[in-house]
A and B are shown apart, each in its own frame.
Chain A
């Protein structure tokens, strides 16, 4: 069975600092990978996705993620965090069998001004 691990439950960064959120997955083949963000009152929103090809993918709001097959990782990065980035971030896996998603436990991001 597939699984997603987000080792950091909470992360606090200063506004303007860089950000990296970690994600590791377990699946026998290459899955589809996503990052979703959940903000109060705004629901879950897709940040970016990896299906195949270029292992560095760009998303909305200046986020990017890098797929590393050898490490089974899909870490999310942003060079300069804005206060509005405070939210909960979920690393998500899909095996392509329908739109069934497996979510990680989430990382709550706090941004200090």
Chain B
């Protein structure tokens, strides 16, 4: 069974640009969550989607957005990039709701110059 796949794995952008990250969950998993990992703030929850609906949202500005498609694949978008958005963005999927048992991808490492 294939794991959670995130693309791209690495990318470099400049301030002011926007970026879209993609996540394919484990087959059959309908819950997809996104997390940001930085050395200073650690791992922080961005948002969670289930059946194309956002269920939870973390404390991030509106520049961070996401969506989920009917096949459960998810994308997140960051507009007007800032230097502080440099981070590892992790996607996780789950076959169950409200359990916290997540399967994580290896992440997309974003560098903003």
Contacts and interface: CB of A to CB of B under 8 A. Distances in A.
Interface of A: 32, 34, 41-46, 49, 51, 90, 92, 94, 96-106
Main secondary structure of the interface of B (DSSP, over half): strand
A96 B105 contact: no
B90 A43 contact: yes
A8 B100 CA distance: 24
A103 B107 contact: no
Contacts of B43: 90, 101, 103, 106
A49 B101 contact: yes
A43 B55 CA distance: 24
B36 to A, nearest CB: 11
Contact of B104 (A44, A96, A102, A105): A44
A99 B99 contact: yes
A34 B99 CA distance: 10
Contact of A100 (B58, B90, B101, B105): B58
Contact of A99 (B90, B102, B107): B102
A98 B48 CA distance: 8
A112 to B, nearest CB: 24
